């Protein structure tokens, strides 16, 4: 069985020599183009996903909270995840 001597970089899509893959550094512009291309489905679906979320009970609750000055539930949950030490399930830094 023959193996190709080149392979695509998983991060930027550049064709890199297998033997030198460890030393490959992604070109930032190429990386950005590749990442945008890879996420085009999610980007294209953003508007409809947002409309769908806002039409659901969680989205309607968020729209009720926002003009009343309450923080977004989604934002609070994200902050809790970021500040929780996942190893112990306790707030980070404790």
Contact residues: Zn ion, CB under 5 A: 9, 11-12, 14, 26
The Cα–Cα gap between 67 and 52 comes to 20
- Beta bridge partners, 85, equal 90
The Cα–Cα gap between 29 and 33 comes to 6
Residue ranges of alpha helices (H) inside the chain are 28-38, 40-55, 57-65, 73-82
CB of 21 to Zn ion, least distance (A): 9
Question: Closer CB to Zn ion, residue 11 or residue 35?
Answer: 11
CB of 10 to Zn ion, least distance (A): 8
* Token couple for 52: 């769908």
Question: Closer CB to Zn ion, residue 27 or residue 75?
Answer: 27
Question: Closer CB to Zn ion, residue 21 or residue 90?
Answer: 21
CB of 43 to Zn ion, least distance (A): 21
CB of 41 to Zn ion, least distance (A): 21
Question: Closer CB to Zn ion, residue 20 or residue 81?
Answer: 20
Residue 14: count of CB within 10 angstroms of its CB: 16
């Amino acid at each position: 069985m023959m193996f190709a001597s080149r392979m695509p970089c998983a991060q930027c899509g550049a064709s890199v020599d297998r033997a030198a893959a460890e030393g490959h550094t992604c070109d930032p512009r190429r990386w950005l183009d590749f990442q945008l291309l890879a996420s085009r489905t999610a980007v294209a679906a953003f508007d409809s996903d947002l409309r769908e979320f806002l039409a659901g009970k969680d989205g309607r609750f968020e729209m009720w909270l926002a003009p009343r000055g309450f923080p977004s539930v989604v934002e609070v949950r994200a902050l809790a995840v970021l500040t929780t030490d996942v190893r112990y399930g306790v707030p980070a830094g404790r």
